[in-house]
Copies of this chain bind each other. A is one copy, B any other.
Amino acid sequence: MSATGDPADAQASADAMAAAMFGRDRASRALGMELLSVVPGRASMRMKVREDMLNGHQICHGGVLFSLADSTFAFACNSYNIPSVAAGATIEFLRPVHLGDELTATAEEKIRARRSGLYDVTVTNQHGELVAMFRGRSHHLKGSVVDTA
């Protein structure tokens, strides 16, 4: 969080968090996720569905879709540079996702208090169709994600 309340500082802090956190986030990188944008309270990521993401019915594994939504939520809720973890989430699977589909997830903060927050994430495919809706609850820890002093 910016010590000054200056929006430019808030964005610089979000950028520093995003670079540091994405660099350490082996799980998101192993799934080929790209971080498209992070601003305070919002984030967007992209992922292409690979063969090793398919389940036994030969459609995208629900856990892979959840992972994309959960990572996007994590970048949004850590955007203030206060370390935040997921306390829980709900997901609705709305359309099947296939090999080669290009997915975009967008996370948006709904409410944020000192200790917790609520974020909605939508996942769409390359045709702009909604494939999943995710709602995540964050729990805020002490300290900061990166030192921005």
Contacts and interface: CB of A to CB of B under 8 A. Distances in A.
A61 B51 contact: no
Interface in A9-31: 20-28, 30-31
Contacts of A54: 24-27
B56 A63 contact: no
A interface residue count range (under 10 / 10 to 19 / 20 to 34 / 35 or more): 35 or more
Interface of A: 20-28, 30-31, 51-64, 66-71, 74, 78, 83, 85-94, 96, 110-111, 118, 130, 133, 135, 137, 145
B89 A56 contact: no
A67 to B, nearest CB: 3
A90 B110 CA distance: 15
Given A86-B93, A89-B91, A110-B130, A63 B59 contact: no
